[in-house]
Amino acid sequence: MGASGPSVLIWHRVSMPLHVRTMAVDDLEWCHALNEANVPALGTETREAFDQLLELSSIALVATVDGERAGFTICMLAGADYESMNYRWFISRHDTLVYLDRVAVDARFKGRGVGRALYDEVDRLGLALAGPGVPFCLEVNLEPRNDDSLAFHDRLGFAEVGQQRTPNGKLVSMMERPIGASHM
Ligand SMILES: CC(C)(COP(=O)(O)OP(=O)(O)OC[C@H]1O[C@@H](n2cnc3c(N)ncnc32)[C@H](O)[C@@H]1OP(=O)(O)O)[C@@H](O)C(=O)NCCC(=O)NCCS
């Protein structure tokens, strides 16, 4: 289940109290609803399968703004018993990694630094758990094209290392950058 660690309070540039903490079991209903609201950017999951992701994860975080849930992310390390084709693609290339399986920010909070704050905390925890030099891996949809996510990940320093087509007909851009980049 998600790594615990001190939660982080970040005062956003417009003095918005943005807080990132470890995901808890009672966050799952909200996170699953946000996941489903963001299909096809994120893969659809049954509630049972979504709950299983938390069990497989090593880093699972929720961001809050003024105490209200605003976004989440779920990440795995190498060695997870996870059958995702995209996770397997990265695992076949790296002995160690941090794989970001999914991230979503509630539409009301987009563009306010919530996604960046989640990635900062993945960087901090990932560096501690996996060590320096480890790739921070994820995929973004090219078909259907997710321009918001492509712009966001370009801004955060991710670069394409490959592409693959998934059985559900998506074409995805496989992206990486070193873990911890936002803390170096
Ligand atoms: C992609 C997503 C997570 C970004 O989260 P966010 O909280 O809106 O992003 P932030 O406000 O933290 O933005 C961080 C940086 O990326 C840039 N950015 C974010 N969205 C952008 C967009 N649509 N176009 C251009 N730049 C963008 C911001 O300008 C910001 O740059 P700065 O910090 O240098 O000013 C969010 O849009 C989302 O949840 N989308 C729907 C689900 C999804 O697509 N998930 C990703 C699947 S791969």
- In the reported structure, the alpha carbon of residue 149 is separated from the centroid of ligand 1 by a whole-number distance in angstroms of 6
Comparing CA positions, the residue from 70, 78, 174, 72 lying closest to residue 126 is 78
Q: What is the pTM of this model?
A: 0.93
Instruction: Name the burial class of residue 66, with classes exposed (0-12), middle (13-18) and buried (19+) by CB atoms within 10 angstroms of its CB.
Output: exposed
pLDDT of res. 2: 47
Sheet holding 171-178: strands in order across? Answer: 8-11, 17-22, 59-65, 68-77, 98-105, 135-143, 171-178, 159-165
- In the reported structure, the alpha carbon of residue 174 is separated from the centroid of ligand 1 by a whole-number distance in angstroms of 17
pLDDT mean over 50-71 = 98
Query: Please, are residues 140 and 93 in contact by the beta-carbon 8 Å criterion?
Result: no
pLDDT digits (tens, 9 = 90+) for 89-130: 999 999 999 999 999 999 999 999 999 999 999 999 999 999
Comparing CA positions, the residue from 104, 101, 99 lying closest to residue 30 is 104
Q: How many domains does the structure of the chain reveal? A: 1
Which CATH number goes with the domain that contains 144? Answer: 3.40.630.30
Q: Hey, how many other C-beta atoms are within 10 angstroms of the C-beta on 82?
A: 16
Q: Which of 19, 34, 45, 152 to mutate to test the pocket of ligand 1 (most atoms within 8 A of CB)?
A: 152
Q: Which residue ranges have their beta carbon within 6 Å of ligand 1? A: 38, 41-42, 103-105, 110-116, 140, 146, 148-149, 151-152, 155
For 126, the enclosing helix (H) or strand (E) is helix 114-130
- In the reported structure, the alpha carbon of residue 83 is separated from the centroid of ligand 1 by a whole-number distance in angstroms of 27
pLDDT digits (tens, 9 = 90+) for 6-55: 566 665 454 579 999 999 999 999 999 999 999 999 999 999 999 999 99
Query: Please, are residues 80 and 60 in contact by the beta-carbon 8 Å criterion?
Result: no
Determine, yes or no, domain membership for 1. no
pLDDT of res. 26: 97
Determine, yes or no, domain membership for 108. yes
Estimate the crossing angle of helix 28-37 against helix 47-56, to 10 degrees. Answer: 110
Confidence of residue 5 (pLDDT cuts 50, 70, 90): low
Determine, yes or no, domain membership for 2. no
Determine, yes or no, domain membership for 161. yes
Determine, yes or no, domain membership for 3. no
- In the reported structure, the alpha carbon of residue 128 is separated from the centroid of ligand 1 by a whole-number distance in angstroms of 25
Determine, yes or no, domain membership for 39. yes
3-state secondary structure 99-122: EEEEEEECHHHCCCCHHHHHHHHH
Residue 169 domain boundaries: 8-183
